[in-house]
Structure 1
């Protein structure tokens, strides 16, 4: 079965859990100590921490889905891992935050927190998206961009 129709949907309508399901990737919810989620290719499963809000879980699933789509494996190389994490964040943010949705919210939201809540993303992933659109003059974007690697 093709996932193309689900991948085209972006922004508020984007449902990474549905894409994972269509790909046959299990979503396992469990207590995690140091992270909100992980791609376990050997189990064909995305592991998500229990206790997350629906927004947090949506963002984690979108991020881990990008690892699935890129066929990422834990390579043990710190630099390569950082690149994979940045790419997964960027691609997830692009799918979670459509420019049309962002433009609409930018008309009235007074701060990053409010905008992120309205877009159903974490503040961190909204910052990733804004940094991806650097130089576009979006509100709430912190000068200098984010220094977070993963």
Structure 2
């Protein structure tokens, strides 16, 4: 399976026979509906946002998540889906190449075709590896 810039979660979903339905959503950008074998995704997203949301929801499909969980379990499932999606969306080789010249996370995310949030998830997953951009939540005294 391709990874990084070549990874297209919509193609994988199609191969799995999972439908994608675009509609207006109030409180989320996407949701996996196992009983319908459908991912519902917010209409009006950018191509990059849609790619990241589909990658995240695909990880719920692959993990056989049964739908909406609550409390600590929901948090664990969402974080696991984010991490797995980020690993597929941002290949280390692509990240290393972009890190050579990109001045910040915003520029790097645009080149990698991911949201800044998804790039930060990937960078957090690689914590301590010495990437050039400060992490969200890092604090500088002063």
Band of TM-score, shorter chain: over 0.9
Q: Is 1:12 aligned with 2:8?
A: no
| Structure 1 unaligned blocks of 5 or more | 1-7, 146-150
2:75 is aligned, of 78, 82, 85, to: 82
For the Cα contact (< 8 Å) 1:131–1:141, is it kept in 2?
Answer: no
Cα offset, 1:79, TM superposition: 0.7
- The two structures have a TM-score, normalised by structure 2, of 0.94
Tell me if the contact between 2:120 and 2:136 (Cα under 8 Å) persists in the aligned partners. Answer: no
Q: How many angstroms apart in 1 are the aligned matches of 2:21 and 2:68?
A: 22
Partner of residue 122 from structure 1, selected from 102, 105, 115: 115
Contact 2:31–2:39 under 8 Å retained in 1: yes
Any conservation in 2 of the 1:127–1:141 contact (CA below 8 Å)?
no
Alignment counterpart, residue 43 of structure 2, candidates 45, 50, 53: 50
The question of whether the paired residues in 2 share the 8 Å contact of 1:38 and 1:48 is answered with yes
Matches within 5 A, 1:108-119: 108-119=101-112
1:91 to 84, 88, 95: 84
Q: TM-score, normalised by structure 1?
A: 0.89
Flag the 1:97–1:76 CA change in 2: closer, same or farther, 3 A: closer
CA contact (8 A) 1:130 1:141 kept: no
Is the 1:94–1:129 Cα contact (8 Å) retained in structure 2?
A: yes
Are the aligned partners of 1:30 and 1:47 in contact in 2 as well (CA < 8 Å)? yes
CA RMSD of aligned residues (A): 1.2
Who is 1:70 aligned against?
63
How many residues matched? 138
